[in-house]
Amino acid sequence: MASERHAGPIGKAAKRSGMATIASLAEKVGLPFEGDGTLEISGVSHLNRAREGDLSFVQSEAYVKQALDSPARAVIAPEGMDVPGKTVIRSPYPQLTLARITTLLHPLPERKTGIDPRAAIGEGCRIAPSATIHPMAVAAEGVAIGERSEVYPGVYLGVGVVVGDDCVLHANVTVEWGCRIGNRVVIYAGTVIGSDGFGFLPHEGRHEKIPHVGNVVIEDDVEIGANCAIDRSTYRSTVIGKGTKMDNLVHIAHNVDVGPYSLFSGQTGIAGTSKVGEYFTIGGQAGVAGHLELADRITVGPKSIMTRPGTPGEIYYGFPARPAHQWRQSIAQFNALPRLVNRINRLLGSKTEDSEQ
Print pLDDT tens along the chain (357 aa): 333 444 433 333 333 446 899 999 999 999 999 999 999 999 999 999 999 999 999 999 999 999 999 999 999 999 999 999 999 999 999 999 999 999 999 888 888 999 999 999 999 999 999 999 999 999 999 999 999 999 999 999 999 999 999 999 999 999 999 999 999 999 999 999 999 999 999 999 999 999 999 999 999 999 999 999 999 999 999 999 999 999 999 999 999 999 999 999 999 999 999 999 999 999 999 999 999 999 999 999 999 999 999 999 999 999 999 999 999 999 899 899 999 989 888 888 766 555 555
Secondary structure letter of residue 17 according to DSSP: T
H or E element: which one contains 354?
A: helix 324-356
Residue type, 327: W
Q: What is the pTM of this model?
A: 0.86
In the residue annotation, 254 being an active-site residue is answered as yes
Q: Are 212 and 199 in contact (CB under 8 A)?
A: yes
Q: Which of 170, 203, 254, 291 is catalytic?
A: 254
In the beta sheet, which residues pair with residue 202? 207
Do residues 123 and 105 lie in contact, with contact meaning Cβ atoms separated by under 8 Å? no
**Domains in the chain: boundaries:** 5-105, 115-323
Q: Which CATH superfamily is domain 5-105 in?
A: MurE/MurF, N-terminal domain (3.40.1390.10)
For 115-323, CATH number out of 3.10.20.310, 2.160.10.10, 2.120.10.30, 2.60.40.10 equals 2.160.10.10
Q: How far apart are CA 195 and CA 177, in angstroms?
A: 9
| 53: nearest Cα among 35, 65, 69, 71 | 71
What confidence score (pLDDT) does residue 23 get?
Answer: 96
Coil, strand or helix at 55: strand
Find the distance separating the first CA and the last CA of the chain, reported in whole Å.
87
pLDDT of residue 354: 57
Question: Cβ distance 113 to 129 under 8 Å?
Answer: yes
